[in-house]
């Protein structure tokens, strides 16, 4: 028996409303930081009523937690799509590192960093984010291994991938207030050669 015809549009509307709220949350974090990202500001930016916003995400912590998941999924999907579009060949490895570096200096990184730093001194936000941090970190690691076609069974490969992600996180922070791209490009050119050596059997 098919579902009542009125149900599907309602579900779709709900999904679209949630997506608009989560995108608006990320935009607000990038533009105003955590302190300016109140549920009222997000609802206004998303063009969603306060009532609808409270229905979907009753608290600020619930809203930003959902935004982190949404953000991590969007980033992973973007990276996968970009990587698929890369031509095969010797330049592919370097391009994957460039893509990852762009992800760690882009708006999604900035939004996540706002939340991470705020959560340090906000117990409710912290309780919501800590379980996600581990999950998002694992997924980012797995995605990077796949994109670099790395074989983690070989000794040292797991640590080399981890170091790459930690290095990129550090470079992301160094880019917060000023354009650090010239230094970053030079540094990553050296890192690409080292990493390639570490990953190559």
Q: Which residues of the shown chain bind a second copy in the complex (CB under 8 A)? A: 31-33, 35-36, 110, 113-114, 116-122, 126, 129-130, 133-134, 137, 156, 159-160, 162-163, 165-174, 176-178, 183, 186-187, 190-191, 194, 198
- Cβ of residue 121: shortest distance to a second copy, in angstroms? 4
Residue number with CB closer to a second copy (8 or 117): 117
The nearest distance, CB 175 to a second copy, in angstroms, is: 10
Q: How far is the CB of 97 from a second copy (least distance, A)?
A: 13
The rounded distance, in Å, linking the Cα atoms of 143 and 200 is 18
- In the complex with a second copy, the residue whose CB is nearer, 79 or 160, is 160
Identify which of 32, 72, 27 has the alpha carbon closest to the alpha carbon of residue 46: 27
15-47 per-residue burial string, b: 16 or more CB within 10 A, e: under 16: eebbebbbbbbbbbbbeeebeebebeebbebbe
Give how far Cα 53 sits from Cα of 30, 118, 127, Å: 20, 22, 22
Nearer to a second copy, 78 or 122 (CB): 122
Q: What's the closest the beta carbon of residue 118 comes to a second copy, in angstroms?
A: 7
Phi, psi (5° rounding) for residue 18? -60, -45
When the beta carbons of 130 and 146 are compared against a second copy, the nearer one is 130
Instruction: Give which of 68, 40, 70, 35 is closest to 54, Cα–Cα.
Output: 40
């Amino acid at each position: 028996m098919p579902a009542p015809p009125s149900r599907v549009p309602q579900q779709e509307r709900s999904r679209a409303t949630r997506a608009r709220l989560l995108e608006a949350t990320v935009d607000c974090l990038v533009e105003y930081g955590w302190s300016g990202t109140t549920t009222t500001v997000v609802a206004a930016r998303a063009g969603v009523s306060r009532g609808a916003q409270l229905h979907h995400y009753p608290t600020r912590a619930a809203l930003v937690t959902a935004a982190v998941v949404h953000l991590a999924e969007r980033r992973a999907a973007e990276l996968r799509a970009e990587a698929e579009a890369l031509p095969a060949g010797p330049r592919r490895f370097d391009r994957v590192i460039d893509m990852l570096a762009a992800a760690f200096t882009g708006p999604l990184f900035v939004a996540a960093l706002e939340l991470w730093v705020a959560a340090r001194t906000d117990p409710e936000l912290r309780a919501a984010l800590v379980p996600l941090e581990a999950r998002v970190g694992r997924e980012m690691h797995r995605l990077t291994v796949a994109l670099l076609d790395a074989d983690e069974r070989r000794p040292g490969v797991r640590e080399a991938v981890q170091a790459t992600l930690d290095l990129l996180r550090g470079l992301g922070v160094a880019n917060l207030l000023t354009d650090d791209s010239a230094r970053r490009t030079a540094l990553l050119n050296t890192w690409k050669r080292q990493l390639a050596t570490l990953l190559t059997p």
